[in-house]
Amino acid sequence: MRITEFSNPRMAQAFVDYMATRGIQLRIESDNHYTVWLDDDSKVNLVENELNQFIRDPNHPRYQAASWHSGTTRSGIHYQSTSLMTNIRERAGPLTLAVMAACIVVFILMQILGFRTVMTWLAWPDADQHFQLWRWFTHALLHFSLLHIVFNLLWWWYLGGAIEKRLGSGKLFVILLISALLSGWMQAKYSGVMFGGLSGAVYALMGYAWLRGERDPQSGIHLERGLMAFAIIWLVVGYMGWFGLSIANAAHVTGLLVGLAMAFVDTRQKKRS
């Protein structure tokens, strides 16, 4: 019995893999599209109910997990090869990509001109620089090592891209601005103005994605609890000073609290209903 047809091979395979975890075997035939077939028509009602849920939220973690547990390398689907840049663009929106590009350009300039030169242009404002309004936000573009920028941009792309795709550029822009402003302000109180990095915004995204997923699973925004636990452990590592790491702890904690607060506000109506 023909169940449905997909244009995306990955979506077809994800649904087949998920139904396998429910004890129902489906098969895929591919031509111009990918058609899903059911051989045992006594299970059609269950399959159709699951299909309706899948169509509403095909990116839910349960379908990804099913592919790990039940997937096979003998699916018969041949994926079109794509470049790394194509994969990056598919997950990220224009704001996510623009911030990544700005961080990379600034990092290159810091290697060419020196850290202090670039920081005199972009770092958090000193006592006589408060009217240079860009400084309240551009400190987030400064990174001091390859590990520093790679770590931050991977998280920014992973979480920021998902939030921008699901909730729009405006939501990501607000999270970025508020977290950069408040995390920078708190870090400046603890360490002075010689700091930088996107990690305050990254921790805001972590807090937002985790709590939004816990309180509003239908939003499609989530962060696995294990990754959230890793973020908390990293905070503890920073505070304890283990491994000789120099970490902007105040910025991290403030960013995390900002993200949690914004997710709580955005999901109040969901919880009431």
Distance CA 88, CA 256 (A): 25
**Cα dist from 222 to 99, 137, 162, 213, 228, whole Å:** 21, 26, 9, 4, 10
> Which residue out of 179, 199, 219, 222 is catalytically annotated?
199
Asked if 7 and 35 touch (Cβ cutoff 8 Å), the reply is no
Asked if 154 and 99 touch (Cβ cutoff 8 Å), the reply is no
- 199 assigned to active site: yes
Distance CA 254, CA 200 (A): 7
Crossing angle between the packed helical segments 199-215 and 169-191, to the nearest 10 degrees:
130
> Which residue out of 139, 148, 222, 252 is catalytically annotated?
252
- 67 assigned to active site: no
Residues belonging to the active site:
199, 252
